[in-house]
Structure 1
Amino acid sequence: MDSLLFLGYEFLAVLAPLCLIYLIRHGLDRSFGWLLIFGIYLMMMFKVTGAGTLYDISMYGFQWRGEQVNFIPFEGEASLINNLLNVIMLMPFGFMAASFFQGKAKTTKVISSGFSLILLIELSQLLNNRRTDIDDVIMNGAGLIIGLIIWKTCSLINSRLSLFNIKSPIKFQVITVVLIVFLSRFFLLNDYGLAKIIYNF
């Protein structure tokens, strides 16, 4: 029961601002469902990667420690499972972002927005004592490219399938959705504060 409460709180804190802003600007249209799916995906990605929040700063302080950052690719023993998961995690982003972007320079837009997301996650992890690793950036980037290639391949095979050729792309820029979800999590999500209220400690 408590886990459902925490999950519901996270949904409200992270996704409610995105939905509210979109509904005010565009109303409930055919694109809203795609926006919600994309928002949930981003929310889960930030959760799994442990993206930092404002409340992490109050708990851990803001201190730069050299051992938190690794700029040397594949130094030491690399975890195959971890690297594989990092690749898989960004594949949906490459696929969905390619579906949402319209017009020219689609590939450039997908890659630039994807790497902006990756850097946002990695840098925010410095706020909660997690390790920022170049390996994660490389593997995430590989997943991003693979997702983009899958979308291009599917589009070539059958451009008429609505699954691969969205006729009503979201009306926000992809990077705008990323920033709204991230900032909502950063400023509004405080799991520790909710736990203090529930468990009275």
Structure 2
Amino acid sequence: MSDIRNWGLIGYEMLSVLIPFFITYVILYAVFKKDKMRNKKRNLIWNFIFAVYIFGVLHFTGAGTLYNIKMYGLKINPNEINLIPFSGNIDIVEYVLNIILFIPLGFLIPLIWTSWDKWKSLIIGSYFSILIELSQLFNTRCTDIDDFILNTLGAIVGYCLYKMLNRVQKKDIKTSYLEIEPFIFICAMFLGRFFIFNEFGLAKILYKF
């Protein structure tokens, strides 16, 4: 029974991310409805994989939500903020995990949005990491500049892996899209979870406490 409840929470969290994704996708698709956008099926599949990945990152990092603000208030604990790079205890495993976490982002971005270069991948990695770190001001997790640096590095590593693989396969499938599309998707999914996902509210119902 406990496992079912846990899966219920995860399913609820996933829907709070995927529903905004599909709404955004339909709106963006409507923009290109008159265009002959090639590989529509491929585009949808990879965008969905991207959305599931974004959900995984938000879930794993425990990004803050509106309901965290209601629970903890807007009081920011200075002890939970680190703005000096690599000034604390060095945890190699945690550092490596932070890099690995954002490697798929750096790989998927140029794969889906084919004209994106390494600098745009760096910007999107930084943007997503900043969203997560700022949201963690609203819950009990630490907002750490180390995470920001390592996440951004992970996005660059992912981009380099994509370029290496692309050279081997010599493939470059072009798709039609808005230049800021990745930002729109990430923002929509982040805000969906921020406003919809009430973890403790559902937990109270499921576990009756």
TM over 0.5: yes
Give the CA deviation at 1:166: 4.3
CA contact (8 A) 1:51 1:125 kept: yes
| The one of 6, 20, 35 aligned to 2:9 | 6
1:1-201 aligned within 5 A: 1-26=4-29, 29-30=40-41, 31-103=43-115, 106-160=117-171, 165-168=172-175, 173-201=181-209
Distance 2:98 2:9 in 1: 25
Q: Which amino acid aligns with 2:102?
A: L
Give the CA deviation at 1:199: 2.5
Distance 2:16 2:173 in 1: 28
Distance 1:90 1:191 in 2: 24
Give identity over the alignment, percent: 37
CA contact (8 A) 2:76 2:138 kept: no
Measured against aligned partners, the alpha-carbon deviations of 1:144-178 in whole angstroms (never above 9, x if no partner) come to 11111111111222223xxxx44447667111111
Superposition TM-score, scaled by structure 1 size: 0.89
Judging changes above 3 Å, is the alpha-carbon distance between structure 1 residues 166 and 9 closer, same or farther for their aligned structure 2 residues?
A: farther
Measured against aligned partners, the alpha-carbon deviations of 1:38-66 in whole angstroms (never above 9, x if no partner) come to 00100110111111000000111111222
CA contact (8 A) 1:115 1:141 kept: yes
Q: Which amino acid aligns with 1:141?
A: T
CA contact (8 A) 2:63 2:135 kept: yes
Give the CA deviation at 1:140: 1.0
Measured against aligned partners, the alpha-carbon deviations of 1:103-153 in whole angstroms (never above 9, x if no partner) come to 3x6222211111110111111100002111111112112111111111111
Q: Structure 1: state its 5+ residue gaps.
A: none
